[in-house]
Amino acid sequence: MKTLKNLVLVVAILFTFTAQSQSQEKSFEVEVIGKGNPILLFPGFSCTGDVWNETVKELSKTYECHVFTFAGFGTVAPIETPWLETIKKDVEAYVQRKKLQKPTIIGHSMGGSLALWLASTNQNTYKNLIIIDGLPSIGALMIPNFSSENVTHDNPFSKQQFAMDDEAFKTMATQMAAGMTFNKEKQSTITSWMIQADRKTYVYGYVDLLKLDLREQIQNIKIPVTILAAVSFYPKKQVEELYTKQYQKLAKKDIIYVDDSAHFIMFDKPDWFLTQMKTILKVKS
């Protein structure tokens, strides 16, 4: 009888521990694939970790890939605000809990902005960053006379997006996806990710991203940063001026301008992209 009681106690303790472990870092889900030095792969806004499928298939042969999908996107349950700040804190907790030693971060778009934010406040945690068409301040790109303090969650554009019915939102998503990649099949995939996203996360999470301004803070980053910048819809000179200005305070950077590619470089230049990833990871390690 005593043995049975002890067994029940052990099971109860194990169940409690498991439940607590599963309740950690609710702002994302992570799939770990491969073995080797760790890489954190952050998707862009509204995308799931599947954006990295082709990349991970190759990199997981020699690296341990931690593929993130953020709350409110894909099948990951939404969280309360502040959305982006919570994600940042949870990534920091995840790296510490998993005892990851000097992981590299590969981040696309919003994922790149998040990578810059993490590295600017955790100088000794990461090995290097690879930013795919991402900026320190998306707000400064989108809003004339940008000031983070003037960006609020409740604004006319947010209200307009909340008011859209499903058909109107799908039309908007389809139009946006058409400008993000030249790959027709991937355009449909991007559209489906946007439609699947939790509407509140899609609206308020994007405001969180617009408010983030790291143009001064990136001067704290001391590790190597490689930036891939797409050149297609705007003249190369204009893109170069944008990236030079936004990354002015970042010391250790290499900017690679990618001709004839839209925002999803991994979709528009898949073979070239994989070659670059392997080369950068090898050189920067």
What does the DSSP 8-state code read for residue 108? E
By the 10 Å C-beta count (0-12 exposed, 13-18 middle, 19+ buried), 50 is classed as middle
- Contact, 210 vs 152, CB < 8 A? no
- Contact, 133 vs 107, CB < 8 A? no
Task: Cis check for the bond before 103: say yes or no (omega within 30 of 0).
Answer: no
**Residue 94, both tokens:** 């995840």
pLDDT tens-digit map of 206-261: 999 999 999 999 999 999 999 999 999 889 999 999 999 999 999 999 999 999 99
pLDDT tens-digit map of 126-149: 999 999 999 999 999 988 888 888
Q: pTM here?
A: 0.91
- Contact, 27 vs 80, CB < 8 A? no
Residue in 70, 45, 40, 69 with CA at minimum distance from that of residue 55:
40
The overall average pLDDT reported for the chain is 91
pLDDT tens-digit map of 63-103: 999 999 999 999 999 999 999 999 999 999 999 999 999 99
By the 10 Å C-beta count (0-12 exposed, 13-18 middle, 19+ buried), 137 is classed as buried
| AA identity, residue 78 | P
Question: Which domains, ranges and CATH numbers included, belong to the chain?
Answer: 29-284 (3.40.50.1820)
